[in-house]
Amino acid sequence: MEEAYFKCCKTKKAGNFVCINCGSIYHKSCMDRAKNISFIDGTRVLCCTQVYDSDSSLLAHVKNELDLSKRLLVEMEKRNLLLEEKIRDLERDASKTSVMSYAKALSNQKKVPPIIIKPTQQTPKGTIITKIKSQDNIQDLNISVDTVREVKNGSVMIKCNNVENNETMVREIQKIANLNCEIKTLNMRKPRVKVVDVCEDVDPVTLSDRILSQNFESASPDDLKIIHVRKNKKKNNSCIFVELAPKLYHATMRSGTLYVGWQHCRVYEDFNVSRCYKCSGYGHSAKKCTNQTRCQYCAGNHDGTACPNKENKQCTNCLQSNLKYKTERDHKHYAFEENVCETFQFYKKRAMAQTEYN
Protein backbone atom coordinates (compact mmCIF):
# COMPACT_ATOMS: atom_id res chain seq x y z
CA MET A 1 0.00 0.00 0.00
CA GLU A 2 1.33 3.44 -0.98
CA GLU A 3 2.25 5.63 1.97
CA ALA A 4 0.12 8.75 2.43
CA TYR A 5 1.40 12.14 3.54
CA PHE A 6 -0.28 15.19 5.02
CA LYS A 7 -1.41 17.84 2.63
CA CYS A 8 -0.69 20.54 5.19
CA CYS A 9 2.76 19.18 6.19
CA LYS A 10 4.02 17.25 3.19
CA THR A 11 7.10 15.80 4.92
CA LYS A 12 5.06 13.97 7.57
CA LYS A 13 3.18 10.74 7.13
CA ALA A 14 -0.59 10.35 7.31
CA GLY A 15 -2.64 11.31 10.37
CA ASN A 16 -6.29 10.94 11.28
CA PHE A 17 -8.33 13.52 9.31
CA VAL A 18 -9.04 12.47 5.70
CA CYS A 19 -11.07 14.23 3.03
CA ILE A 20 -13.75 11.90 1.71
CA ASN A 21 -13.52 13.43 -1.77
CA CYS A 22 -9.86 13.96 -2.63
CA GLY A 23 -8.20 11.81 0.05
CA SER A 24 -6.12 14.65 1.50
CA ILE A 25 -4.91 14.07 5.05
CA TYR A 26 -4.59 16.75 7.73
CA HIS A 27 -3.13 17.24 11.18
CA LYS A 28 -5.59 17.93 13.97
CA SER A 29 -3.74 21.12 14.88
CA CYS A 30 -3.82 22.26 11.26
CA MET A 31 -7.53 21.50 11.06
CA ASP A 32 -8.18 23.90 13.93
CA ARG A 33 -6.63 26.74 11.90
CA ALA A 34 -8.05 25.74 8.51
CA LYS A 35 -11.04 27.45 6.91
CA ASN A 36 -13.76 26.20 4.57
CA ILE A 37 -13.37 22.63 5.83
CA SER A 38 -16.43 20.67 6.94
CA PHE A 39 -16.22 17.95 9.59
CA ILE A 40 -18.26 14.82 8.87
CA ASP A 41 -17.23 12.74 11.91
CA GLY A 42 -14.19 12.10 14.11
CA THR A 43 -11.96 10.99 11.21
CA ARG A 44 -13.54 12.29 7.98
CA VAL A 45 -13.69 15.83 6.63
CA LEU A 46 -14.58 17.57 3.38
CA CYS A 47 -12.06 20.09 2.12
CA CYS A 48 -13.23 20.17 -1.55
CA THR A 49 -16.45 22.09 -1.03
CA GLN A 50 -16.39 23.39 -4.58
CA VAL A 51 -17.15 19.92 -5.91
CA TYR A 52 -20.60 20.00 -4.38
CA ASP A 53 -23.12 22.52 -5.63
CA SER A 54 -25.26 22.36 -2.53
CA ASP A 55 -25.63 20.76 0.85
CA SER A 56 -27.94 18.19 -0.70
CA SER A 57 -25.07 16.90 -2.87
CA LEU A 58 -22.91 16.43 0.22
CA LEU A 59 -25.75 14.65 1.98
CA ALA A 60 -26.24 12.33 -0.98
CA HIS A 61 -22.55 11.46 -0.97
CA VAL A 62 -22.61 10.59 2.72
CA LYS A 63 -25.78 8.52 2.25
CA ASN A 64 -24.11 6.50 -0.47
CA GLU A 65 -21.24 5.70 1.86
CA LEU A 66 -23.70 4.74 4.58
CA ASP A 67 -25.55 2.39 2.21
CA LEU A 68 -22.30 0.72 1.25
CA SER A 69 -21.44 0.22 4.93
CA LYS A 70 -24.86 -1.30 5.62
CA ARG A 71 -24.53 -3.72 2.74
CA LEU A 72 -21.10 -4.74 3.96
CA LEU A 73 -22.49 -5.31 7.46
CA VAL A 74 -25.31 -7.51 6.13
CA GLU A 75 -22.81 -9.56 4.16
CA MET A 76 -20.60 -10.03 7.22
CA GLU A 77 -23.59 -11.14 9.31
CA LYS A 78 -24.48 -13.76 6.70
CA ARG A 79 -20.95 -15.09 6.77
CA ASN A 80 -20.99 -15.20 10.57
CA LEU A 81 -24.21 -17.24 10.52
CA LEU A 82 -22.65 -19.72 8.11
CA LEU A 83 -19.56 -20.05 10.29
CA GLU A 84 -21.65 -20.57 13.43
CA GLU A 85 -23.63 -23.30 11.69
CA LYS A 86 -20.43 -25.05 10.65
CA ILE A 87 -19.09 -24.86 14.22
CA ARG A 88 -22.31 -26.40 15.57
CA ASP A 89 -22.06 -29.23 13.04
CA LEU A 90 -18.46 -29.91 14.04
CA GLU A 91 -19.34 -29.92 17.75
CA ARG A 92 -22.27 -32.25 17.10
CA ASP A 93 -20.03 -34.69 15.24
CA ALA A 94 -17.38 -34.49 17.94
CA SER A 95 -19.89 -35.22 20.71
CA LYS A 96 -20.97 -38.43 18.99
CA THR A 97 -17.44 -39.81 19.00
CA SER A 98 -16.17 -38.13 22.15
CA VAL A 99 -14.06 -40.16 24.58
CA MET A 100 -14.24 -39.54 28.31
CA SER A 101 -11.07 -37.93 29.62
CA TYR A 102 -8.91 -39.74 32.17
CA ALA A 103 -9.61 -37.11 34.84
CA LYS A 104 -13.37 -37.40 34.35
CA ALA A 105 -13.26 -41.18 34.36
CA LEU A 106 -11.19 -41.12 37.53
CA SER A 107 -13.62 -38.76 39.27
CA ASN A 108 -16.55 -41.00 38.31
CA GLN A 109 -14.94 -44.05 39.85
CA LYS A 110 -16.34 -45.24 43.12
CA LYS A 111 -13.81 -44.72 45.89
CA VAL A 112 -12.45 -47.84 47.55
CA PRO A 113 -12.44 -47.80 51.36
CA PRO A 114 -9.24 -49.00 53.05
CA ILE A 115 -8.94 -52.22 55.08
CA ILE A 116 -7.72 -51.86 58.66
CA ILE A 117 -6.11 -54.87 60.38
CA LYS A 118 -5.95 -54.08 64.09
CA PRO A 119 -4.22 -56.43 66.58
CA THR A 120 -6.48 -57.69 69.36
CA GLN A 121 -3.56 -57.95 71.77
CA GLN A 122 -0.30 -56.09 72.20
CA THR A 123 2.19 -57.18 69.58
CA PRO A 124 5.65 -55.92 68.62
CA LYS A 125 5.77 -53.27 65.95
CA GLY A 126 5.87 -54.67 62.43
CA THR A 127 4.55 -58.12 63.35
CA ILE A 128 1.20 -57.92 61.55
CA ILE A 129 2.50 -56.35 58.35
CA THR A 130 5.35 -58.88 58.17
CA LYS A 131 2.94 -61.83 58.49
CA ILE A 132 0.65 -60.45 55.79
CA LYS A 133 3.45 -59.76 53.30
CA SER A 134 4.94 -63.22 53.83
CA GLN A 135 1.79 -65.04 52.66
CA ASP A 136 2.38 -66.69 49.27
CA ASN A 137 -1.32 -67.25 48.60
CA ILE A 138 -1.98 -63.48 48.65
CA GLN A 139 0.92 -62.79 46.31
CA ASP A 140 -0.30 -65.42 43.86
CA LEU A 141 -3.74 -63.81 43.57
CA ASN A 142 -2.30 -60.85 41.62
CA ILE A 143 -4.37 -58.34 43.56
CA SER A 144 -3.60 -54.72 42.69
CA VAL A 145 -2.73 -53.01 45.95
CA ASP A 146 -2.44 -49.23 46.05
CA THR A 147 -1.27 -48.89 49.66
CA VAL A 148 -0.05 -51.17 52.41
CA ARG A 149 1.51 -49.55 55.45
CA GLU A 150 1.67 -49.72 59.20
CA VAL A 151 -0.34 -47.15 61.14
CA LYS A 152 -0.88 -46.51 64.86
CA ASN A 153 -0.45 -49.24 67.50
CA GLY A 154 0.88 -51.81 65.05
CA SER A 155 -2.26 -51.75 62.88
CA VAL A 156 -1.97 -52.17 59.12
CA MET A 157 -3.87 -50.30 56.42
CA ILE A 158 -4.35 -51.90 53.01
CA LYS A 159 -6.06 -50.21 50.09
CA CYS A 160 -6.76 -52.04 46.83
CA ASN A 161 -7.69 -50.52 43.49
CA ASN A 162 -11.30 -51.77 43.46
CA VAL A 163 -13.98 -53.19 45.73
CA GLU A 164 -13.66 -56.76 44.40
CA ASN A 165 -9.95 -56.87 45.24
CA ASN A 166 -10.76 -55.46 48.68
CA GLU A 167 -13.19 -58.29 49.39
CA THR A 168 -10.73 -60.90 48.15
CA MET A 169 -7.98 -59.44 50.33
CA VAL A 170 -10.19 -59.58 53.44
CA ARG A 171 -11.03 -63.25 52.82
CA GLU A 172 -7.38 -64.19 52.38
CA ILE A 173 -6.24 -62.30 55.48
CA GLN A 174 -8.90 -64.09 57.53
CA LYS A 175 -7.29 -67.40 56.54
CA ILE A 176 -3.94 -66.48 58.11
CA ALA A 177 -3.42 -68.56 61.25
CA ASN A 178 -2.53 -66.99 64.60
CA LEU A 179 -2.90 -63.47 63.29
CA ASN A 180 -4.90 -62.38 66.36
CA CYS A 181 -6.33 -59.28 64.80
CA GLU A 182 -9.59 -57.57 63.96
CA ILE A 183 -10.27 -56.91 60.28
CA LYS A 184 -12.66 -54.19 59.22
CA THR A 185 -13.32 -52.08 56.15
CA LEU A 186 -13.72 -48.40 56.84
CA ASN A 187 -16.92 -46.81 55.62
CA MET A 188 -16.58 -43.84 53.30
CA ARG A 189 -17.97 -40.59 54.64
CA LYS A 190 -20.84 -38.72 53.09
CA PRO A 191 -20.24 -35.10 52.03
CA ARG A 192 -20.99 -32.43 54.59
CA VAL A 193 -22.12 -28.83 54.24
CA LYS A 194 -22.34 -25.90 56.62
CA VAL A 195 -25.52 -23.79 56.62
CA VAL A 196 -24.74 -20.36 58.08
CA ASP A 197 -26.72 -17.46 59.56
CA VAL A 198 -29.84 -19.41 60.50
CA CYS A 199 -31.71 -16.90 62.63
CA GLU A 200 -34.68 -19.05 63.58
CA ASP A 201 -34.88 -21.32 66.60
CA VAL A 202 -34.05 -24.71 65.15
CA ASP A 203 -35.11 -28.06 66.53
CA PRO A 204 -32.64 -30.76 65.42
CA VAL A 205 -35.39 -33.39 65.61
CA THR A 206 -37.67 -31.78 63.02
CA LEU A 207 -35.02 -29.78 61.17
CA SER A 208 -33.97 -32.55 58.79
CA ASP A 209 -37.56 -33.16 57.66
CA ARG A 210 -38.07 -29.44 57.17
CA ILE A 211 -34.95 -29.04 55.01
CA LEU A 212 -35.87 -32.10 52.94
CA SER A 213 -39.42 -30.92 52.29
CA GLN A 214 -38.35 -27.38 51.39
CA ASN A 215 -35.39 -28.23 49.16
CA PHE A 216 -35.47 -31.86 47.98
CA GLU A 217 -38.88 -33.21 47.02
CA SER A 218 -37.94 -36.74 45.98
CA ALA A 219 -35.24 -37.38 48.62
CA SER A 220 -35.55 -40.00 51.34
CA PRO A 221 -34.93 -39.34 55.06
CA ASP A 222 -31.67 -41.34 54.87
CA ASP A 223 -30.24 -38.82 52.39
CA LEU A 224 -29.89 -36.06 55.00
CA LYS A 225 -28.63 -36.05 58.57
CA ILE A 226 -28.14 -33.14 60.98
CA ILE A 227 -24.68 -33.55 62.51
CA HIS A 228 -24.50 -30.55 64.79
CA VAL A 229 -26.13 -27.18 65.49
CA ARG A 230 -23.71 -24.52 66.71
CA LYS A 231 -25.38 -21.48 68.25
CA ASN A 232 -23.82 -18.02 68.25
CA LYS A 233 -25.21 -16.09 71.20
CA LYS A 234 -23.57 -12.81 70.19
CA LYS A 235 -25.12 -12.75 66.72
CA ASN A 236 -28.25 -14.60 67.84
CA ASN A 237 -28.07 -17.12 65.00
CA SER A 238 -26.98 -20.70 64.38
CA CYS A 239 -24.70 -22.66 62.09
CA ILE A 240 -25.98 -26.08 61.03
CA PHE A 241 -23.70 -28.91 59.91
CA VAL A 242 -25.53 -31.29 57.58
CA GLU A 243 -24.47 -34.62 56.07
CA LEU A 244 -25.93 -35.19 52.61
CA ALA A 245 -26.15 -37.96 50.07
CA PRO A 246 -23.87 -37.26 47.07
CA LYS A 247 -26.74 -36.34 44.73
CA LEU A 248 -28.14 -33.84 47.25
CA TYR A 249 -24.67 -32.49 47.96
CA HIS A 250 -24.01 -31.65 44.30
CA ALA A 251 -27.42 -29.99 43.92
CA THR A 252 -26.83 -27.93 47.07
CA MET A 253 -23.34 -26.79 46.07
CA ARG A 254 -24.61 -25.75 42.63
CA SER A 255 -27.25 -23.48 44.16
CA GLY A 256 -25.10 -22.38 47.10
CA THR A 257 -28.15 -21.95 49.34
CA LEU A 258 -30.78 -23.89 51.27
CA TYR A 259 -34.24 -22.92 52.44
CA VAL A 260 -34.60 -23.25 56.21
CA GLY A 261 -38.02 -22.20 57.45
CA TRP A 262 -38.59 -18.58 56.43
CA GLN A 263 -34.96 -18.08 55.43
CA HIS A 264 -32.79 -18.58 52.37
CA CYS A 265 -29.41 -19.42 53.92
CA ARG A 266 -25.94 -19.62 52.41
CA VAL A 267 -24.19 -22.99 52.25
CA TYR A 268 -20.48 -23.86 52.26
CA GLU A 269 -18.70 -27.19 52.05
CA ASP A 270 -17.50 -28.58 55.36
CA PHE A 271 -14.47 -30.84 54.99
CA ASN A 272 -14.90 -32.37 58.46
CA VAL A 273 -11.40 -31.46 59.61
CA SER A 274 -11.53 -31.15 63.38
CA ARG A 275 -9.32 -28.46 64.90
CA CYS A 276 -8.05 -28.19 68.46
CA TYR A 277 -8.33 -24.78 70.10
CA LYS A 278 -5.75 -25.68 72.73
CA CYS A 279 -2.72 -26.68 70.66
CA SER A 280 -4.09 -25.33 67.33
CA GLY A 281 -3.53 -28.75 65.76
CA TYR A 282 -5.81 -30.84 63.56
CA GLY A 283 -7.39 -34.25 63.94
CA HIS A 284 -8.65 -33.91 67.51
CA SER A 285 -10.61 -31.59 69.79
CA ALA A 286 -9.49 -29.55 72.79
CA LYS A 287 -11.29 -31.91 75.19
CA LYS A 288 -9.11 -34.84 74.13
CA CYS A 289 -5.91 -32.85 73.63
CA THR A 290 -2.83 -33.99 75.56
CA ASN A 291 -0.44 -31.55 73.87
CA GLN A 292 1.03 -28.36 75.23
CA THR A 293 -0.90 -25.13 74.72
CA ARG A 294 0.13 -23.36 71.53
CA CYS A 295 -0.79 -19.87 70.39
CA GLN A 296 -2.70 -19.70 67.12
CA TYR A 297 -1.08 -16.36 66.30
CA CYS A 298 2.66 -16.61 67.10
CA ALA A 299 3.05 -20.35 67.95
CA GLY A 300 4.19 -19.46 71.46
CA ASN A 301 3.55 -21.54 74.60
CA HIS A 302 0.56 -19.49 75.72
CA ASP A 303 -3.13 -19.12 74.99
CA GLY A 304 -4.04 -17.15 71.87
CA THR A 305 -6.45 -14.86 73.71
CA ALA A 306 -3.54 -13.34 75.63
CA CYS A 307 -0.98 -13.25 72.81
CA PRO A 308 1.42 -10.28 73.17
CA ASN A 309 2.98 -10.84 69.75
CA LYS A 310 0.12 -11.10 67.24
CA GLU A 311 1.99 -9.15 64.57
CA ASN A 312 4.61 -11.92 64.31
CA LYS A 313 2.67 -14.46 62.24
CA GLN A 314 3.77 -18.03 62.92
CA CYS A 315 1.79 -21.21 62.19
CA THR A 316 2.57 -23.81 64.82
CA ASN A 317 1.35 -26.66 62.58
CA CYS A 318 3.63 -25.82 59.66
CA LEU A 319 6.55 -25.19 62.03
CA GLN A 320 6.07 -28.60 63.67
CA SER A 321 5.84 -30.26 60.26
CA ASN A 322 9.09 -28.66 59.14
CA LEU A 323 10.87 -29.75 62.31
CA LYS A 324 9.45 -33.27 62.56
CA TYR A 325 9.10 -34.33 58.93
CA LYS A 326 11.72 -32.05 57.32
CA THR A 327 9.15 -30.39 55.08
CA GLU A 328 9.55 -26.89 53.70
CA ARG A 329 6.14 -25.41 54.40
CA ASP A 330 5.62 -21.68 54.62
CA HIS A 331 4.87 -20.83 58.26
CA LYS A 332 4.48 -17.04 58.00
CA HIS A 333 0.74 -17.07 58.65
CA TYR A 334 -1.71 -17.64 61.48
CA ALA A 335 -2.69 -21.21 62.31
CA PHE A 336 -6.34 -20.53 61.45
CA GLU A 337 -5.64 -19.08 57.98
CA GLU A 338 -6.82 -22.19 56.17
CA ASN A 339 -6.50 -20.82 52.64
CA VAL A 340 -2.71 -20.47 52.92
CA CYS A 341 -1.89 -23.14 55.52
CA GLU A 342 -0.32 -26.16 53.82
CA THR A 343 -0.93 -28.33 56.88
CA PHE A 344 -4.66 -27.68 56.71
CA GLN A 345 -4.62 -28.42 52.97
CA PHE A 346 -3.00 -31.78 53.75
CA TYR A 347 -5.76 -32.70 56.22
CA LYS A 348 -8.37 -31.37 53.82
CA LYS A 349 -7.14 -33.63 50.99
CA ARG A 350 -7.08 -36.60 53.34
CA ALA A 351 -10.66 -35.90 54.42
CA MET A 352 -11.77 -35.57 50.80
CA ALA A 353 -10.12 -38.90 49.96
CA GLN A 354 -12.29 -40.52 52.64
CA THR A 355 -15.49 -38.91 51.32
CA GLU A 356 -17.74 -40.49 48.71
CA TYR A 357 -18.83 -37.78 46.26
CA ASN A 358 -20.29 -40.08 43.57
Beta-carbon contacts of residue 113 (< 8 Å; ≥ 6 apart): 166, 185, 186, 187, 188
The last residue of one of the domains, among 185, 209, 227, is 185
Find the range with the poorest average confidence among 98-112, 130-144, 305-319, 331-345.
98-112
pLDDT band at 53 (very low <50, low <70, confident <90, very high): very low
pLDDT tens by residue, 108-150: 566 788 899 988 887 788 888 888 888 777 767 778 888 888 8
User: Is the domain of 318 the same as that of 262?
Assistant: no
Is residue 173 included in any domain, yes or no? yes
Is residue 214 included in any domain, yes or no? yes
Is residue 47 included in any domain, yes or no? no
pLDDT band at 212 (very low <50, low <70, confident <90, very high): very high
User: Is the domain of 261 the same as that of 197?
Assistant: yes
Is residue 158 included in any domain, yes or no? yes
pLDDT value at position 103? 46
Of 30-34, 45-49, 222-226, give the range with the top mean pLDDT: 222-226
Measured CA to CA, the distance from residue 341 to residue 347 in angstroms comes to 10
pLDDT band at 2 (very low <50, low <70, confident <90, very high): very low
The last residue of one of the domains, among 185, 203, 219, is 185
Tell me which residue of 115, 105, 117, 103 sits closest to 163, measured CA to CA: 115
> Distances in Å between the alpha carbon of 195 and those of 204, 218, 243, 266?
13, 21, 11, 6
pLDDT value at position 323? 92
Domain count, the chain: 3
- Please report, for the domain that includes residue 202, its CATH number: 3.30.70
pLDDT value at position 258? 93
**Residue 238: domain span:** 192-270
pLDDT value at position 57? 61
pLDDT at 30 over 80: no
pLDDT value at position 328? 92
pLDDT value at position 47? 73
Measured CA to CA, the distance from residue 302 to residue 239 in angstroms comes to 29
Is residue 86 included in any domain, yes or no? no
> Are 320 and 243 a contacting pair, CB within 8 Å?
no
pLDDT at 194 over 50: yes
Is residue 166 included in any domain, yes or no? yes
pLDDT value at position 298? 95
> Distances in Å between the alpha carbon of 344 and those of 108, 321, 333, 340?
26, 11, 12, 8
Is residue 262 included in any domain, yes or no? yes
Measured CA to CA, the distance from residue 209 to residue 221 in angstroms comes to 7
User: Is the domain of 243 the same as that of 221?
Assistant: yes
Is residue 244 included in any domain, yes or no? yes
pLDDT at 31 over 70: no
> How long, in residues, is the chain?
358
The last residue of one of the domains, among 185, 210, 245, is 185
